[in-house]
Structure formats: structure tokens, C-alpha cells
Amino acid sequence: MLALNIARRYLIAKKSHQAINIISLVTVAGLSIGTMGLIIVLSVFNGFGDLVLSLYNTFDPDIKITAIQGKTFNPSVIDTSAIYKVKGVKSINYSLQENALVRYRDRQYIVTIKGVTENFLQSVNFSNKIVEGNYLLQQGDTSYAMVGGQIAYSLGINAGDPLHFLNIYIPKRNVDLNLVFNPDDAFNSSYIYPSAVFSIQQDFDSKFIIVPLQWAREVIGHEKNISAIEIILHANSVNEKALNEISKIAGSQFKVEDRLQQHDFLYKILKSEKLAVFIILTFILLIAAFNVIGSLTILVIEKKNDINILQSMGATFSTIRNIFLLEGLLITLSGAVTGLLLGGLICFVQQTFGIIKLEDAESFVIDAYPVIMKAGDFINIFLTVVVIGAVASLYTSRQMVKKQINNKDIV
């Protein structure tokens, strides 16, 4: 307690040399700026990461069932009625995917045809992603296609154009190409009118054409098989619990994945990038820690008389060392707390008002830098700053106090 009281007085009291006060303030400011920078950068990184994932989640189901072996399977082998009874399940939908060549007028493009039910698109609120044309897959006996924005741009598609349609070519299954003399005999072909253009995320916009499931089955050549069972959960449902129950129902021949597992590689990349950013910015804090060393060094030299007085009053080496150790910790805590508060305030303002805008924002889905603050980041940054400051303070206080004490044998 004595060491803490003296350390606190050293922190706030005016020093005999004005430069020492300035150095202390610079040290606190350096730690504050480093801490603030970490909070801001990681929060912006969180914002972009969640934005990317949310764009993927717009198109992906909460839970997806696919076959471990083969591209398609018959959905009748899975008891979907039992899946409906799982708590949190909102809807169950089938989808069928296949690569295809699409021609529109005099242009062509390699795409992935995805056949879906109308119910699935309503479940994921797909209509909000339509940027041109009408949200329409089926009207009477006529089927329509909704085309990704990049595909539409490359092919020059006019959504809703009744005079031009998409020619779809899909390779036939179980065909020996060595025995095919006419290239047209190697493909199933059909045509479909584009009803709309959607924009979600580049990976989807440049890859997918959405069509009715039955139309996809006919052109691909699968009367009953599908590529996946896609399950939508109610909001705030416990995914892990539902995932485990559905996995038991599906059995060992099927892979059951939540949204994180569907894009496991993407999640790992985002996590690795965030860790790399954290490590790089931590080096800035290490540089700021040298200010702590300098500040304590000068303070110990200035307080040489105080050290001698405390020594003559019976203070041990550990007591004197702890005074300056706690002084360094107080400086570190002041910088850390100030940086966290300033960083949190700046992030809150950006999150609320979007003051700092993105360049060429009209071509992006948002117009300002996204910010998401996470408690874990604040805790990790605080602990990192405190550990760095504690190590620097412990080393400096121990070495410098030893040099200033005349009697090296004090214990």
C-alpha cells in the first residue's frame, strides 16, 4: 500500500524538472494512441469481415445437407418430416446445381445453374437483392431465370426482354465423348427468359443463374435427385443444437454444415488476417513501451535522494523497486484506459453517423467504413498493453533501482 501511494504521488505530482512531466505525458499519449489505433483498426476489420459474411449468408441457408459421395442424391432417403420437428426449423428446401454454358445473343459465359424452390427464395428474402427486372421464377407454365449481376453485365442481358432468351447447355451424364461426333449430342440444351438481375456479392454475381427446381431437373437430367437440402432456421435459434439433431437424422452418408462450415476456408482467412493485423499493431505498442522505460529511468535518477531516504528508513530493495514498478503500471494503465475510451468513442461515432466515407462508395454496398466493436477485442488489447507495460516496468525498475542504491546487498 505504501509503494502504491508513493507511486501515485510520483505520477500526479509536479517534478523538479519540467521535462520529466512532459516525458510522462508523451509516454501516456504514445500508449493511448497505440491502444486507440488497435481498437479502431480491429473494429473496422470486424465490420468488413461481418459485411462479407453477411453477403454470403444472404445466399446461403442456415444448415445445408449434401452427400459425402457423389454430387446428387435422392431426398427421399432422408426423413424430412423428422427435420421439421427439430426446434427452430423454419423451412426445408431442395436445390440442384450444375455447371453450364449460357448463350445470350452473340455472347456466351460459363455459369452455375441453381434450381431452387420459390419457398427458399422467400425464406432468405432474396427479393431485396433484385436490382433490375421483376422477382419471378415461375408464371403459369413459363419458367424464368434470375441472373447474377456480373453475368448480366458480361452478356449484356436486359431483364424482362421478351425477344431474347438464354440458351443453356449442360453436359450429358454418362456420355463417352470419344463416341460423339456431333458436339450438340454431348449436351442437354434448353432456353429460358431472364426475368431479373440480382446483386449479392461478386462470387455469387459472377457465378449463379437461379432457375426453378423442376426446370433445372429437366435440363440437367435428374428427375428426382437434388444437390442439397437447404434448411432455414427461425431467428435466434440455437444453430449448434439444431445442427447436431439434424446430423443424427441425416446419417453418416451425408454432410451437415452450418453457415460457418459452408465457408470454413473464408472464416479461417478472416481470422488469420485479423490475427496478423493484431500482431503487427502490437509491435507499435512495443515501440511505445520504450517510452515507459525512458520515463522510469529518468524518474529513478531524479528520485535518487528519495531512494536514499527510504533506504535509511529501512525500506527494502523490493519495496523501493515496487514503487517504480507500480509507477510504470500506472502510466501503462492510464494510457491503456485512455486509448480504449478514445478508440471506443471514435468507433461509436463512426458506427452511428458514418462520418468517414469510402472512396467510390457508389460502386459498393455501403458508403462508409463499417465498424463493429467486440468486447473480446477490448479485453485482449487491454491485457496486451498491460503485459507489455508490466514487463518494461519490471525490468527498468529492477535495474535502475539497483544502480541507485549504494548498498547492493539490501533484500
Rounded distance, CA 327 to CA 411, Å? 20
Question: What's the pLDDT score for residue 377?
Answer: 94
Alpha-carbon gap, residue 119 to 132, rounded angstroms:
21
Per domain, the residue ranges of the chain are 2-56+266-404, 61-262
Averaged pLDDT in 10-residue chunks for the chain of 411 residues? 67 58 79 92 90 78 91 91 90 92 93 88 77 89 92 90 88 64 72 92 90 92 89 78 91 90 84 88 82 80 75 76 83 92 95 84 72 94 91 84 59 40
CA dist., res. 201 & res. 64, Å (int): 20
As a whole number of angstroms, the distance between CA 112 and CA 173 comes to 16
Torsion of CA 68, 73, 75, 77, to 10 degrees: -70
Are 143 and 167 contacting, i.e. CB atoms less than 8 angstroms apart? no
143 phi/psi in degrees, rounded to 5: -100, 150
E strands present in 199-285: 208-212, 228-233, 254-258
What's the Cα-to-Cα distance from 331 to each of 20, 28, 183, rounded to whole Å?
Answer: 13, 6, 77
Long-range contacts of 13-17 (CB under 8 A, 24+ apart): 15/299, 15/302, 16/302, 17/302
Q: What local confidence, expressed as pLDDT, does residue 338 receive?
A: 94
Select from 263, 394, 405, 258 the least CA-distant residue to 332.
394
Which pLDDT score, from 0 to 100, does residue 360 have? 66
User: pLDDT value at position 141?
Assistant: 87
Q: Which pLDDT belongs to residue 212? A: 94
